[in-house]
Amino acid sequence: MRKFMGLAGLAAGFLFLAASGALAHGDVTPHPVDTTGLPPLGKTWADSNPYRDNAKAIEIGSVGYYHNCAACHGLNAEAGGMAPDLLQLAKDCVTMTSPADKASCFKDSDDYFKGVVLDGKKNSEGRETMPSYGAVFTQEAVWAIKAYLDKRTADEAKSN
């Protein structure tokens, strides 16, 4: 009987862990993104996303997003309220008509995006709220994911 209770308790514990893990985050270990096929960018960071509107980068970025970000920021970047909506980042940029304003708006959103993704974020108690990807992502990976998000943002703006 004792043994039976112990096993049942263990099984319940596992179920709880599995369920809470899936609900809270899913798999949130940073995964490298395979950017084969994209023009290499080297070590020096570009001022703003060199891959914007690049179809191959958008495709690679969508895979990178799915593996690394979707668990918290939502499938197809449709936020479920657990983490900020990433389609807001360049929302104002995509509808700008002046090319200069548009470029500078995207540059600001690129800068901000790059900083948060590489360094992550911590709350006031020092607990990590947003993981940092600086140790696993190349420059190519960061910009490919941003290209995907900007494409999604532009598509949303068109459909509204």
Nearer Cβ to ligand HEC, position 58 or 72?
72
Per DSSP, helices labelled H in the chain are 2-24, 55-68, 70-73, 99-119, 139-159
Residues in 99-118 that interact with ligand HEC by CB under 6 A: 113, 116-117
Q: What angle do CA 95, 98, 99 make, to 5 degrees?
A: 95
**Region label for 96, one of left (φ > 0), alpha (ψ between -120 and 50) or beta (otherwise):** beta
Nearer to ligand HEC, 58 or 145 (CB): 145
Is 35:148 a contact under the CB 8 Å cutoff?
A: no
**Using CB under 6 A, which of 145, 147, 151, 154 touches ligand HEC?**
145
Q: Tell me the CA end-to-end span of the chain in Å, nearest whole number.
A: 62
Q: Which stretch binds ligand HEC (CB under 6 A): 5-13, 45-53, 130-138, 151-159?
A: 130-138
Least gap, CB of 158 to ligand HEC (angstroms): 22
| Interaction site with ligand HEC (CB under 6 A) | 25, 28, 68-69, 71-73, 83-84, 86, 113, 116-117, 121, 123, 129-131, 133, 145
